[in-house]
Amino acid sequence: MKKVSVLGKLQKEADKLNQLRNKRLYKLCEACGGQNQVGHHWIEKSRSANLRYRQENMIPLCNSCHSKIHNVFGNSVVGGLNVADAIIKKRGRAWKNRMDIDGRKTIRVNREHYLKVIGELDGDKTLD
């Protein structure tokens, strides 16, 4: 069994709270209008610690649209582009450009960072 670090445990807890906030805030998929099932990170978690927990980087999606945007089955390139295009059209080019710029900013990720994020997400009124 792989041992999980303290930071890994804190990150997992923050990620769980982030997904919970997404589901409470948004009932519908932003791309197709179906039921929201997952919060998709526009700028991937692995690419930007700065945007990982920012609500404006989260896209509420149904599982079908989430699969399309990730091209999970290897044959959804057109669907993935349509989902991304629908999101950009709805949120606007200025939002996309801001996400691209903010996604390149770096932040220090440590125990204090995760405790702050968890505190903010845990105290978020949308989780009540």
pLDDT of residue 1: 66
pLDDT of residue 70: 81
Report the 3 state secondary structure along 83-109. Answer: HHHHHHHHHCHHHHHHHHHHHCCCCCC
Residue 107's pLDDT is what?
93
Looking at residue 81, what is its pLDDT? Answer: 63
3 state DSSP class of 51? coil
Running DSSP on this structure, what letter comes out for residue 35? B
With a cut of 70, which residues of the chain have pLDDT below it? 1, 72-81, 125-128
Fill in the amino acid letter for 82.
N
Query: What integer pLDDT is reported at residue 69 of this predicted model?
Result: 85
pLDDT of residue 104: 95
Quote the pLDDT of residue 58.
Answer: 97
Q: pTM of the predicted model, to two decimals?
A: 0.84
Separation between Cα atoms, residue 59 and residue 26, nearest integer Å? 9
Segments making up each domain of the chain, as ranges: 6-119
pLDDT of residue 95: 97
